[in-house]
């Protein structure tokens, strides 16, 4: 009898140990499973809070980010060369089309009309280069800029905003009296592509009226869109107002790259110099004042004549 009781107690204890071991194993497996599930959440390719995300999507979104933010300054931001589509149906023109010997960009035709051409360069067989200066921000370097041009005997084309002229009336008169040419750079320096036709006309018209009143000259027929922002519609509205868009072939970067040095401005202009080139510089750049004497001397040493836009492309 005692033997049987001991046997049953041993059997019961063994069964309890087996049951306990089984429970521990089940709990261990469940814990491993839960930890594995938590580890997968938040990884590329998993779903977090019900929002699917794949490795491919992560790589794609990263690749779509620019290497660095666009460089801007007080005057201008870099814009793509491609034209934006106009509000009318455009039949593209041959980009190498020419009228006479002028190299230009002809936007195309719309509603049976040939849209105005945009001049980027003068005659390709010309030994001339036009120096142009945009003014829409600081005016402090401008008097010294005028001194350099006078000392070198160079006449240039200045694209002025109406606001700049209002703030620098005497300086505007000095630019004109020195024999330089004035072009329209709008009144408040907006991206014209974002404005209605009427607002574009107002920007151009207000500046024209101010400059006529201050300096007694017209800005027509040349205008330069702020930031270089233009499309077929902008060009057509400006054309209807009596303007031709003057772009550039040599950007000095003095209104694009912050902290630019005079040596870099000089190199950029000289590297891009070619017959009929139009050079873009800014009235508010001290490094440009420093670089300008060397630029003028070296361009002349290379056989170029420095002229106004009107001398280069005609009226």
Residue in this structure with the two tokens 């041009």, named with its chain if needed? 149
Catalytic residues: 134, 282
d(CA 271, CA 273): 6
Query: pLDDT (tens digit, 0 to 9) for every residue of the chain, 315 residues total?
Result: 444 544 455 555 566 677 777 777 777 776 655 555 444 443 333 322 222 333 333 333 333 333 333 333 333 433 333 233 233 333 333 333 333 333 445 444 444 444 455 778 887 778 999 999 999 888 999 999 999 999 999 999 999 999 999 999 999 999 999 999 999 999 999 999 999 999 999 999 999 999 999 999 999 999 999 999 999 999 999 999 999 999 999 999 998 888 999 999 999 999 999 999 999 999 999 999 999 999 999 999 999 999 999 999 876
d(CA 146, CA 283): 10
What is the edge-to-edge ordering of all strands in the sheet holding 108-110?
Answer: 91-92, 108-110, 113-114
Within its chain, how far is the Cα of 29 from the centroid? 60
The beta strand positions in the chain, using DSSP E, are 47-48, 51-52, 91-92, 98-99, 102-106, 108-110, 113-114, 117-123, 128-135, 157-160, 181-184, 222-223, 244-245, 250-251, 278-282, 305-307
Is 120:95 a contact under the CB 8 Å cutoff? Answer: no
């Amino acid at each position: 009898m005692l033997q049987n009781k001991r046997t049953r107690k041993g059997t019961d204890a063994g069964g309890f140990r087996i049951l306990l071991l089984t429970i521990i194993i089940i709990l261990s497996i469940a814990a491993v499973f839960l930890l594995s599930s938590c580890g997968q959440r938040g990884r590329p390719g998993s779903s977090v809070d019900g929002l699917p995300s794949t490795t491919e999507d992560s790589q794609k979104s990263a690749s779509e980010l620019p290497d660095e933010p666009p460089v801007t300054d007080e005057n201008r931001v870099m814009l793509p060369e491609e034209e934006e589509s106009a509000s009318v149906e455009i039949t593209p023109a041959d980009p190498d089309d020419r009228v006479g010997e002028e190299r230009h960009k002809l936007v195309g035709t719309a509603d049976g009309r040939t849209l105005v051409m945009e001049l980027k360069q003068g005659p390709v067989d010309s030994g001339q280069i036009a120096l142009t200066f945009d003014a829409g921000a600081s005016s402090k370097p401008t008097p010294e800029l005028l001194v350099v041009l006078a000392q070198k005997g160079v006449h240039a084309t200045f694209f002025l905003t109406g606001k700049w002229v209002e703030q620098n009336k005497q300086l505007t008169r000095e630019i004109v009296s020195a024999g330089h040419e004035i072009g329209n750079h709008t009144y408040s320096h907006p991206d014209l592509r974002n404005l209605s036709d009427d607002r574009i006309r107002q920007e151009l018209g207000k500046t024209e009226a101010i400059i006529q009143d201050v300096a007694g000259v017209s800005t027509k027929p040349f205008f330069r869109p702020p930031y270089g922002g233009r499309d077929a519609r902008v060009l057509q509205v400006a054309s209807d107002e009596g303007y031709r868009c003057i772009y550039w072939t040599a950007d000095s970067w003095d209104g694009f790259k912050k902290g630019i040095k005079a040596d870099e401005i000089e190199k950029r202009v000289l590297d891009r110099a070619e017959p009929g080139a139009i050079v873009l510089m800014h009235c508010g750049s001290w490094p440009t004042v420093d670089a300008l004497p060397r630029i003028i001397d070296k361009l002349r040493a290379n056989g170029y004549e420095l002229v106004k836009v009107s001398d280069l492309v005609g009226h």
